[in-house]
């Protein structure tokens, strides 16, 4: 089972847990995302998750405070994990330029700790998407 499938299932279970607070749900999804990004340095994956929370990805208010917003972010994180699992959906192409720039910058920072084939794979997409302008 791919990393993104495990992440997707964990997100659904987390969002549906009515007994858990929104903060606990965010923390649980952060843990799931970090575990799903096992192919990368943990600090990089944690920084990337924080980037998505700080920008309020998928929210009009830059604040993820509703379960539907968190679900949307979680589903997007599945697409991000697909990239790191070298299975990016080029047809769907879910990442926007700002994300490519952020990923490129973070990968540059952690380049010495990333497998060469994964680093090359991600950076080729970043180049093609215009992140090096």
Instruction: Provide the pLDDT for residue 60.
Output: 67
Q: What does the block give as tokens for 113?
A: 């700790």
Residue 58 has a pLDDT of 66
Instruction: Note the pLDDT of residue 133.
Output: 80
Mean pLDDT over each residue of the chain, to the nearest integer: 93
User: Taking 80 as the threshold, does the pLDDT of residue 12 lie above it?
Assistant: yes
17-59 tens-digit pLDDT = 989 999 999 999 999 999 999 999 999 999 999 999 888 776 6
Contacts from 27-32 at CB under 8 Å and sequence distance 24+? 29/70, 29/73, 29/74, 29/77, 32/6, 32/7
The whole-angstrom distance between residue 39's C-alpha and the CA centroid of its chain comes to 13
C-alpha 64/C-alpha 43 separation (Å) is 22
What residues does each domain of the chain span? 3-128
Q: Is the pTM of this model over 0.85?
A: yes
Confidence of residue 120 (pLDDT cuts 50, 70, 90): very high
- Note the pLDDT tens digit of each residue in 82-102: 999 999 999 999 999 999 999
* 72 phi, psi to nearest 5 deg: -60, -45
- The CB-side HSE value for 121 (13 A sphere, CA atoms) comes to 14
d(CA 15, CA 68) in angstroms, rounded, equals: 8
Q: What is the DSSP letter of 21?
A: -
């Amino acid at each position: 089972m791919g990393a993104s499938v495990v992440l997707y299932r964990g997100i659904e279970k987390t969002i549906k847990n009515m007994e858990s607070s929104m903060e606990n749900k965010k923390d649980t999804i952060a843990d799931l995302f970090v575990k799903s990004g096992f192919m990368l340095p943990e600090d990089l994956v944690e920084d990337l998750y924080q980037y998505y929370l700080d920008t309020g990805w998928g929210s009009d208010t830059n604040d993820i405070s509703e379960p539907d917003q968190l679900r949307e972010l979680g589903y997007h994180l599945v697409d991000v994990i697909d990239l790191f699992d070298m299975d990016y959906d080029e047809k769907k192409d879910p990442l926007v330029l700002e994300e490519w720039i952020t990923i490129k910058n973070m990968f540059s920072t952690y380049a010495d700790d990333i497998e060469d084939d994964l680093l090359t794979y991600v950076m080729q997409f970043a180049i093609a998407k215009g992140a090096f302008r």
